[in-house]
Structure 1
Amino acid sequence: MRPTRILVRVTAAALLLAATACGSSGGSASSGGLRPPDLKAPTHLGRAEGQVNLIAWAGYVEDGSDDPKADWVSGFEKQTGCRVRAKVAADSDEMVKLMKTGDYDAVSASGDASLRLIASGDAAPVNTDLVPNYRGVYPDLRMRPWNSVKGRAYGIPHGRGANLLMYDTGKVKPAPTSWSAVFDGAAPYKGRVTAYDSPIYIADAALYLKASRPELKIKDPYALDQKQFDAAVALLKKQNADIGEYWGDYLKEVSAFKSGDSVIGTTWQVIANLAASEGAKVRAFVPKEGSTGWSDTWMVSARAKHPTCAYKWLDWIVSPKVNAQVAEYFGEAPANAGACAHTADRNFCAVYHAADAAYWKRIAFWNTPIEQCLDGRTGVKCVPYAAWVRAWTEIKG
């Protein structure tokens, strides 16, 4: 398998969520406070338009040009007559910006972008009856806070992954069980702790504080009032003294663990697998507090010029065989339960916990922080994402 995901970096303030745009919690709260434009999902599909323009993460739309063994675009074009034109986006902000142009029909949005697209009216509701393979999607991925609003679906789940704690089994002893190993207990590994380079990492600190400092009363790591937010930022500023490198490139993290420059920090399952295959003595797991994570959703533009081809792509990409190909190539758990019967590696779905509902209940999936505290609180404002970006710059010094 080839890990191709580029870390979501949200650094352009001009593209941040406006005050009226809304997000929700990572799997616990409802997005019911969101009031998107009253857009309608289609009731039927017309004739295929002959083309579909997509925005996607690297590794999601492969036509064999990068790797002859990775091609699920050619089969789609032959079956549907829809020619695929894809734009690879570097981060969620770029996806949001590109969708606003109206030049694209669909996008593979992560949770920190999906509700922005819904709130702005750039993404339309999706009629799941027009996507037959949606029936095979794991139930715990359907109608979640990051891909639906008030019982209306706004996309088709594609895949998911967790942000894990990885450590060098020969250099980190005793074996850690908690995120405290990179926060309150990081001093023994000073200069060899690593963390991913993104403002959304503040949620990881908040998730740890939710368990370690119950007096803060954090319910949702993406819905932080000022006191909770300040505590998370203070923890990360303290951690900064022990950080050797913030990573945004999976190859750099693999190299750092192989050389010993990093011995403990956050990772993805696919990176842990690659590091181990190249000789690094590492283990990656979900600590006792749980973890943050990501779940991607294919969404249709409200101004799609090729809506029929877009719907055909949504059905194709989540079909069992194709979803298996994408998941293995990309390094993530597939969304369609039937995909596990088609992976080349028969242990793939077990390694990525594809069907392990209990595992995913421990993951707080990415969402965009907003002023409305969608963890159910009223009478208090939560810290919006623009402030997270500013704080991240301060944290890194």
Structure 2
Amino acid sequence: MPYSLKAAAAAGVLLLATACGSSGTSSSAGGFDPPDLKPRKQLGKTEGKVNLIAWAGYVEDGSNDPKVDWVSDFEKQTGCQVSSKTAASSDEMVSLMKSGQYDAVSASGDASLRLIASGDAAPVNTTLVPHYKDVFAGLKKKDWNSVDGVPYGIPHGRGANLLMYNTKKVSPAPDSWSAVFDQASAHKGKVTAYDSPIYIADAALYLMKSKPSLGIKNPYALDQKQFDAAVDLLKDQNRNIGEYWSDYLKEISAFKSGNSVVGTSWQVIVNATQAEKAPVKAVLPKEGATGWSDTWMISAKAKHPNCAYKWMDWIISPKVNAQVAEYFGEAPANEKACALTAAKNHCDTFHAADEPYWKRVHFWTTPVAQCLDGRKDAKCVPYAKWVQAWTEIKG
């Protein structure tokens, strides 16, 4: 799920992970050779507790809202007492997982490959997770959660990064990311963008369509020339940015006040901003979009692996997956969750079962030196360099 980067603290982690290789499914570039870890063959007696790292809103026990609690029933049914640490960023998750104190993490695609490459995440035996069979096919064995067809986690949910705009200030209604790039000067000082190095992929995605001569095939696989073009585009955009956002409440406030009129957003933010009576709409632009898909991954050093497996199955069980998807604001991973959401149109709003929609979304994947688009004759820019460039872009 989206994050705000803590670049300095994570620099060592990033350099290590990006040096370790690349990603992929069985159809990927190959050559990414994670440590030889084996998934569990069977489950044993539960250990009585489980320590989780999660995004805010993923592990709710009623303490934030008495009506929002899917942890208590899990504890009653399994005997596994849940301790959770809320992480503010993917880099914090990577760092915490290295400590060996946690059993599982709800990693986004910009963290998952780092955890696999460094040997901090273990492969998962999906036969030990009965509800995995009901996970949407479009979430299984993808670049960000598997290597050579071996799953390294259990999909939790997904979302797209949309283009949100003020219907009274932005006319005609935009259908292209050009609204925040080539045409951003029309709303100088009121353009907003997501505050993260992974946002460089949004510029690369736009250049895929607007400058085909660059030959970009995957916004997370950029050679130096392609990367430089994306960075230059973002430096140009910076002159028109009013503010970058990572806290979604700040984006809602900025659109409500009129300080922002166009920029990247999430469906949950669109819904909340409309609920605040702000005149906004959102679109998945014609170029497609980047997006995020979160995966529950088990630590290779898990001290409570049996409880961790029980948790992974619980969080994607239909009722619980419906609850968390609705509370958080995302498309659930479990197909059967759609019949159980309180708002009957939730899965339609978040395009849960709309696979053609998701085919237009390029999910966050950790950029690594070996190009993820299959090129053997090129070297791609790894994530550590994205972090450095992001600092330069923002000035």
- SS state at 2:384 partner: helix
| 1:132 corresponds to which of 130, 133, 146 | 130
- Residue type of the partner of 2:145? N
Aligned match of 1:199: 197
- SS state at 2:380 partner: coil
Aligned match of 1:11: 7
Spell out, residue by residue over 1:129-172, the C-alpha distance to the aligned partner (whole angstroms, 9 max, x if none).
00000011000101111111111111000000000000001110
2:218–2:373 CA contact under 8 A, matched in 1:
yes
Q: 1:371 deviation in Å? A: 1.0
User: Structure 2 regions of 5+ residues with no counterpart?
Assistant: none
Aligned match of 1:173: 171
Shift in CA distance, 201/10, structure 1 to aligned 2, threshold 3 Å: farther
What is the CA–CA distance in structure 2 between the aligned matches of 1:255 and 1:342, rounded to whole Å?
31
Aligned match of 1:58: 56
Q: 1:379 deviation in Å? A: 2.2
Shift in CA distance, 162/23, structure 1 to aligned 2, threshold 3 Å: farther
User: Structure 1 regions of 5+ residues with no counterpart?
Assistant: none
- Residue type of the partner of 2:301? R
- SS state at 1:63 partner: coil
Aligned match of 1:34: 32
- SS state at 2:85 partner: strand
- What does 1:154-233 align with in structure 2 at a 5 Å threshold? 154-233=152-231
Q: 1:101 deviation in Å? A: 1.1
Aligned match of 1:277: 275
Q: 1:51 deviation in Å? A: 0.5
Q: 1:7 deviation in Å? A: 2.6
Spell out, residue by residue over 1:285-319, the C-alpha distance to the aligned partner (whole angstroms, 9 max, x if none).
11000000000000111111111100000000000
- SS state at 1:393 partner: helix
- Residue type of the partner of 2:218? D
Aligned match of 1:263: 261
- SS state at 2:7 partner: coil
1:31–1:146 CA contact under 8 A, matched in 2:
no
Q: 1:88 deviation in Å? A: 0.7
Spell out, residue by residue over 1:350-389, the C-alpha distance to the aligned partner (whole angstroms, 9 max, x if none).
0000000000000000011111112111122111111111
- Residue type of the partner of 2:294? D
- Residue type of the partner of 1:251? L
What is the CA–CA distance in structure 1 between the aligned matches of 2:125 and 2:358, rounded to whole Å?
26
| 2:358 corresponds to which of 352, 360, 369 | 360
Is 1:252 matched with 2:224? no
The alignment of Structure 1 onto Structure 2 pairs a total of residues equal to 392
Shift in CA distance, 210/300, structure 1 to aligned 2, threshold 3 Å: same
Is 1:93 matched with 2:94? no
Q: 1:179 deviation in Å? A: 0.3
What is the CA–CA distance in structure 1 between the aligned matches of 2:29 and 2:344, rounded to whole Å?
37
What is the CA–CA distance in structure 2 between the aligned matches of 1:166 and 1:31, rounded to whole Å?
35
Structure 1 stretches of at least 4 aligned residues deviating more than 6 Å after TM superposition: none
What is the CA–CA distance in structure 2 between the aligned matches of 1:157 and 1:347, rounded to whole Å?
22
1:6–1:249 CA contact under 8 A, matched in 2:
no
Aligned match of 1:20: 19
What is the CA–CA distance in structure 2 between the aligned matches of 1:7 and 1:120, rounded to whole Å?
21
What is the CA–CA distance in structure 1 between the aligned matches of 2:159 and 2:184, rounded to whole Å?
25
Q: 1:10 deviation in Å? A: 4.9
When normalised by structure 2's length, the TM-score is: 0.97
2:155–2:295 CA contact under 8 A, matched in 1:
yes
Identity of aligned residues (%): 71
Spell out, residue by residue over 1:189-238, the C-alpha distance to the aligned partner (whole angstroms, 9 max, x if none).
00100001111110000000000000000001001001000100110000
When normalised by structure 1's length, the TM-score is: 0.96
| 2:79 corresponds to which of 78, 81, 96 | 81
| 2:237 corresponds to which of 229, 236, 239 | 239
Is 1:103 matched with 2:121? no
What is the CA–CA distance in structure 2 between the aligned matches of 1:8 and 1:365, rounded to whole Å?
17
| 1:304 corresponds to which of 291, 302, 322 | 302
